[in-house]
Amino acid sequence: MGLELEPLFQAWSYFRRRKFRQCSDLCSQLLERPPGEQEPDSEYTVFQAAWSLKTRALTEMVYVDEIDMDQEGIAEMMLDENAIAQVARPGTSLKLPGTSQGGGPSPAVRPVTQSGRPITGFVRPSTQGGRPSTMEQAIKTPRTALTARPITSASGKYVRLGTASMLTNPDGPFINLSRLNLAKYAQKPKLAKALFEYIFHHENDVKNALDLAALATEHAQFKDWWWKVQIGKCYYRLGLYREAEKQFKSALKQQDMVDTVLYLAKEMNNISSAAEYYKDVLKQDNTHVEAIACIGSNHFYSDQPEIALRFYRRLLQMGVYNCQLFNNVGLCCFYAQQYDMTLSSFERALFLAENEEETADVWYNLGHVAVARALLQTASSLAPHMYEPHFNFAILSEKVGDLQRSYTAAQKSEEAFPGHVDTQQLIKQLKDHFAML
């Protein structure tokens, strides 16, 4: 016969093994016991321990790591409350009629990882992200190594957390927050911390969580860094970023914690400053892969694919050899109009892909190459006197194996620009290939 464990200890064992449902059910049984069935002089202790343990179990069932960058879906992209209109309302502009409202095309969209760092070209755990500014960019933007497909919104995630109490408790929420005396619990640090996590994560009641954190940090005479971090989390969730920044910085003065720094980093997202810091890193270590990749990615999203290509080639020279790098090289070559290297880079990326997601991203980018080939064919028919569309179409056709159409386009390119050396070399290669057939 097995040894029967004491109920509270068994509930704790369930919690340690992440069997939160069993832990919560067993704690509920302990909380429903009549006082006479409990051990003498231990009624309050058992009740308090079971209550705290159940609170933690319910929290863990729906816990979301707040350190990761919030994922934003198409709803947030199109309905951004913090966005500023790019064009003045009719009749309110100070510019004269007919003048331009802006200059030149906008730079490429710069995606970020879940942790808020720039896209680097190397996969990390749980890296998704990318925030296109328009619906069209969300659908059409080429995928670099770490850009992701449209995802569910952050607000939707918080709504789901807010209904977690009804899902886990058919009879209603475990704790009735409207009748809770927050000032009383704020004077009990151990219970207050468990209660805060429950209110913040399980109930998604940021207001009550903030009130409890404010009362608790006041009771601690503003000397407990943990409560300052929690206040910062509440401010961040409410969109009060300046107030959140003050709380995080104050907490860091009392205790250096990695999590606090990561919370603070979510508010910065200063790409230009990050690039300068990465350059300082290269001054110390010119073989630092992370810094090279980040600087290269920054140049790519600043409409400088030729410069970005130099950094990615540097990584190839250092021996970095993976799907993400060749995918980025292919994109740089494509936007730099170096079509002779574009398809070969994507082919190498497909060969090195380790999962379906990587393969899908490469094929997505290859789709843009196919669209470009069709557009070049249209451009060559509209402007037969220009050699550029003829030559680029010939290069792409040769890479996809359509040699006959490539040769025809190369001949048209030579007619438009007889002295173009690259066109002459391509024609010679195609003639040599046909001669061998």
Assign residue 218 the CATH number of its domain.
1.25.40.10
pLDDT at position 172 is 63
Compute the distance between CA of residue 293 and CA of residue 147 in angstroms, rounded to an integer: 15
Instruction: Answer yes or no: do 168 and 260 share one domain.
Output: yes
Two tokens at 17? 């093994």
**Structure-model confidence comparison of residues 23 and 364, the more confident one:** 23
Compute the distance between CA of residue 338 and CA of residue 372 in angstroms, rounded to an integer: 13
Flag the least confident range among 77-81, 353-357, 409-413: 77-81
Is residue 344 included in any domain, yes or no? yes
Q: Answer whether residue 162 shows pLDDT above 70.
A: no
Is residue 215 included in any domain, yes or no? yes
pLDDT at position 4 is 52
Residue 293 phi, psi (nearest 5): -65, -40
Is residue 424 included in any domain, yes or no? yes
What are 301-336's pLDDT values in tens digits? 888 899 999 999 999 998 888 888 999 998 898 888
Per DSSP, what are the bridge partners of residue 112? 118
What is the CB neighbour count within 10 angstroms for residue 394?
31
For residue 226, name the pLDDT band (cuts at 50, 70, 90).
very high
What is the arithmetic mean of pLDDT over 413-418?
Answer: 87
Give percent of the chain with pLDDT exceeding 90.
Answer: 14
Instruction: Answer yes or no: do 342 and 407 share one domain.
Output: yes
Instruction: Answer yes or no: do 331 and 430 share one domain.
Output: yes
Average pLDDT, the chain: 74
Is residue 407 included in any domain, yes or no? yes
Spatial contact of 427 and 411, defined as CB atoms under 8 Å apart: yes
What is the CB neighbour count within 10 angstroms for residue 415?
13
Q: Answer whether residue 103 shows pLDDT above 70.
A: no
Two tokens at 347? 């082919």
Instruction: Answer yes or no: do 330 and 227 share one domain.
Output: no
Compute the distance between CA of residue 47 and CA of residue 390 in angstroms, rounded to an integer: 81
Helical H runs in 71-199?
74-78, 135-140, 154-162, 164-168, 182-186, 189-197
Domain of residue 393, residue span: 321-436
Instruction: Answer yes or no: do 243 and 328 share one domain.
Output: no
Residue 112 phi, psi (nearest 5): -130, 165
Instruction: Answer yes or no: do 337 and 420 share one domain.
Output: yes
**Structure-model confidence comparison of residues 151 and 7, the more confident one:** 7
Instruction: Answer yes or no: do 325 and 411 share one domain.
Output: yes
Angle subtended at Cα 113 by Cα 108 and Cα 114, rounded to the nearest 5 degrees: 135
Is residue 100 included in any domain, yes or no? no
Instruction: Answer yes or no: do 326 and 414 share one domain.
Output: yes
Environment class of 285 (CB within 10 Å of its CB; exposed 0-12, middle 13-18, buried 19+): exposed
Instruction: Answer yes or no: do 352 and 425 share one domain.
Output: yes
Which of 239, 265, 291 represents a domain boundary (last residue)?
265
pLDDT at position 156 is 44
What is the full DSSP assignment across 22-60?
A: HHHHHHHHHHTS-GGGSPTT-HHHHHHHHHHHHHHHHHH
Q: Answer whether residue 39 shows pLDDT above 70.
A: no
Is residue 134 included in any domain, yes or no? no
What is the arithmetic mean of pLDDT over 216-234?
Answer: 92
Is residue 168 included in any domain, yes or no? yes
For residue 211, name the pLDDT band (cuts at 50, 70, 90).
very high
pLDDT at position 269 is 65
Q: Answer whether residue 62 shows pLDDT above 50.
A: yes
For residue 337, name the pLDDT band (cuts at 50, 70, 90).
confident
Query: How many domains, in total, are found in the chain?
Result: 3
**Structure-model confidence comparison of residues 218 and 124, the more confident one:** 218
Q: Answer whether residue 247 shows pLDDT above 90.
A: yes
Query: pTM for this one?
Result: 0.48
For residue 92, name the pLDDT band (cuts at 50, 70, 90).
very low
Is residue 211 included in any domain, yes or no? yes
Which of 225, 240, 265 represents a domain boundary (last residue)?
265
What is the arithmetic mean of pLDDT over 417-433?
Answer: 87
Instruction: Answer yes or no: do 256 and 340 share one domain.
Output: no
pLDDT at position 342 is 85
Contacts of 300 (CB under 8 A, 6+ apart): 108, 144, 308, 328, 331, 332, 335
Q: What phi-psi label fits residue 18: left (phi over 0), alpha (psi between -120 and 50 degrees) or beta?
A: left
Which of 45, 61, 77 represents a domain boundary (last residue)?
61
pLDDT at position 230 is 93
What is the arithmetic mean of pLDDT over 257-271?
Answer: 78
pLDDT at position 437 is 72
